[in-house]
Amino acid sequence: MPIATVNPANGETIKSFDALGPEETEWRLATAAGAFREYRTTAFDERARLLNRAADLLDEDQEDIARTMTTEMGKPVKAARAEAAKCAKAMRWYAANAQRLLADEHPEEADVRDAGASRAFVRYRPLGVVLAVMPWNFPLWQVVRFAAPALMAGNVGLLKHASNVPQTALYLEDLFRRAGYPEGCFQTLLVGSGAVEAILRDPRVAAATLTGSEPAGRSVASVAGDEVKKTVMELGGSDPYVVLPSADIAKAAATAVTARVQNNGQSCIAAKRFIVHTDVYDEFAERFTEGMRALTVGDPARESTDIGPLASERGRADLEELVDDAVRRGATALCGGARPQGLGDGLDGGWFYTPTVLSGITPDMRIHQEETFGPVATLYRAVDLGEALALANDTPFGLSSNVWTRDAEEMGRCVRDLEAGGVFFNGMTASHPALPFGGIKRSGYGRELSGHGIREFCNATTVWYGA
C-alpha cells in the first residue's frame, strides 16, 4: 500500500511520501535507543512539563490537525476537533497522575518480615523503546493513548502509522519535538507493513502495541512472541447493544444512532449488534431506523455533515459484501443498503455508504460473526435476558458492550455474564484516561489507559533488602 494522503471524499491523491530506507530506519532506531538511556532518568515533574506543553500546542493546532484528519480519512470535521481535544485532555490527565500511578508499592510489614527482608517494595521502571503500530480510524487518539502513558513512564516511542494517514503521523512527531522532548523520544517511521517484522525483531525494540485488525494483530504478536517481547493488542470488536423493557426507549434509540455511526461507523468500540427484548422491539426499531435515515451524508469538511465517506474503497467494498450476503440470505434492509446517489460537489467519486439497518439476521449470514466497519447496524429480537445474553456473547470478539435497563438484578447479571472488556449501562461505550480499555477473545489482550495501561510497558521490579 503506498504511503499517501488520498481524500476519501473524492478519491483524489493529495500527497505521496517515500518510505524510509534501511539507513534512515537504522538511524532512527539508534536515536531512539540513545534517547531512552537518558530520558528514563528524568524526573516525573520534567516529563509532566513536556507533556503539558504538548497538550497546549495541540490545543493551538486543533483546527489545522482536525482538517488534516478529515482530509486523510474522512471523519466529519466536528468529530476531528473533538478527537484533538480528547487527546489534549488525556495528555494532561497522565501528566497529573502518572507519578501516583507508578508510585512504589509496599507490602504489609508482616509479609516483608516473612520474606526475610528488612525492607521490600515494588518499583515500576520503563522497558525501553516501544513500537506502536497504529490504525487510521482515530489517527490522533489511538497514538496519544499509547504515547502519553508511555512517555510519562519513561519509555520512548516509535510510531508505524497506517499508510493512509502520513501527514497526521508526521504531525505527531513534530508535536512532541516542538514540546521540547529530547531527540529520539518520539519518532514516526514512514514504512510499509512489510518493514514491521525487522523493526520489531531489532534488539533495541523492547515491546510493541498494536491497534488494528485481527490479522495484523496475529502477525505482530507472533513475531513478538518469537522474540519474547511484551505486546498489547487492541483488535476488532462487534459490540452488543442490549435493550430491555425497563429502559428509556426513546433515549436508548437516539443514543444507539450515535453509538453505531460515530466516526462514520469505523470504530472498534462502536455498537454494531442491537439486541432488543421483544416487548420493546417494534418501538426501538422504528425510532432507531428513523434516526439512522435522518442522518446527513456528505462532505466531511462541512459542519452539517453527520456521515462522511469510508476511509478506503476496499473498506466500502468489504461492507457491501457483508450487507449483500445478509440480504441474499433473507435479511431486510429497514433503511439504506446501498451507496448514496447524487451527492454532488464532486463527491460521487468518494467512498460513501448510506446508513443502514438490517433486521432478520440469522447465524448463517457472514454479518452475524464478522465485524462491520461502517454505518451498518444489525437488529436482533430476544424473548428474555437469557436469550439476549446468548446473542451478545455469540461472537468471536469481546471488546465492550452496552446494556439499557433500570433493573438492578439485570445489571448484576450482565456484569457477571457478558463476555467483554467493558459493560456500559444506559449509555454508549467511550474511552476515558481514568478507565482501563481493552478486550478479550479475539478483541485482543492487555489494557490501555488508566493505571493498568501505564504499567503495561513497565518492569515491575522487586526490591529486597536483607535483615
Which DSSP category does 280 fall into?
T
Q: Is 124 helix (H, G, I), strand (E, B) or coil?
A: strand
Question: 241: which strand partners?
Answer: 274, 402
Are 400 and 238 in contact by the 8 Å Cβ rule? The answer is: no
Q: Which three cell numbers stand for residue 96?
A: 497529573
Which DSSP category does 448 fall into?
B
**Is 234 part of the annotated catalytic residue set?**
yes
Are 289 and 335 in contact by the 8 Å Cβ rule? The answer is: yes
Q: Work out whether strand 186-188 and strand 156-160 pair parallel, antiparallel, or are unpaired.
A: parallel
Q: Which three cell numbers stand for residue 125?
A: 521502571
DSSP run (H or E) holding 140: none
**Is 23 part of the annotated catalytic residue set?**
no
Give the angle 153-157-163 at the CA atoms, nearest 5°: 145
Among the residues of 102-140, which ranges form H helices? 109-114
Picking from 461, 458, 460, the residue whose alpha carbon sits closest to that of residue 207 is: 458
Q: Which residue has the cell 461472537?
A: 395
Are 260 and 272 in contact by the 8 Å Cβ rule? The answer is: yes
Picking from 350, 373, 2, 313, the residue whose alpha carbon sits closest to that of residue 166 is: 2
Q: Is 425 helix (H, G, I), strand (E, B) or coil?
A: strand
Picking from 32, 26, 36, the residue whose alpha carbon sits closest to that of residue 199 is: 26
The pair phi, psi for residue 123, each rounded to 5°, is -120, 135
Question: Given 72, 83, 173, 234, which residue is catalytic?
Answer: 234
Environment class of residue 434 by beta-carbon count within 10 Å: exposed (0-12), middle (13-18) or buried (19+)?
exposed
Question: Given 268, 335, 414, 458, which residue is catalytic?
Answer: 268
Q: Which residues of 290-314 are buried (b: 16+ CB within 10 A; e: fewer)?
A: ebbeebebbbbbeeebbbbbbbbee
Q: Which residues are catalytic?
A: 234, 268
